[in-house]
Amino acid sequence: MKLTPVNQSDQPVSANYSTVGVAQGIAYLDFGFLEPAALGALARSVREGKEVPKSLDGKLVVRVALPLDVLQRLQQQLQQVVAGLRGAKGQRT
C-alpha cells in the first residue's frame, strides 16, 4: 500500500500528551503539546503541596478519528512495538 501525503501530512509533529474518546462507534485520538516548563511547574506544585491549576493550556496537534476495528489493529501494532522495545532494552544490559 502506498499513502500519498496531502498538504504537509508527511511532516512529523511533536506531541507529549494524548487522550482517547469514543462516540457512536468512532474512536477519537487527540494528540497535543503541553509546554515542558508548564509541566515542570505543575510537578513542582504537586511535590510541594501547593494548589494546582484546574486546567492546563496546550495545543491540539492532531485529531484522528478511527473506526473501532482500526483502533484494535493499532492497539495490536503498539503492543508489538512496545514488546520489541522491551526486548531491545533487555539486550543492552
pLDDT in tens, the chain (93 residues): 898 999 989 999 999 999 999 999 999 999 999 999 988 888 898 999 998 888 888 999 999 999 999 999 999 999 999 999 988 777 765
Instruction: Quote the pLDDT of residue 31.
Output: 97
Residue 88 to residue 93: CA distance in whole angstroms: 9
Q: Is 9 helix (H, G, I), strand (E, B) or coil?
A: coil
Cell of 51: 494548589
Cell of 49: 503541596
| Other C-beta atoms lying within 10 Å of the C-beta of residue 27 | 18
pTM of the model: 0.75
The domain ranges of the chain are 17-92
The single-letter code of the amino acid at 1 is M
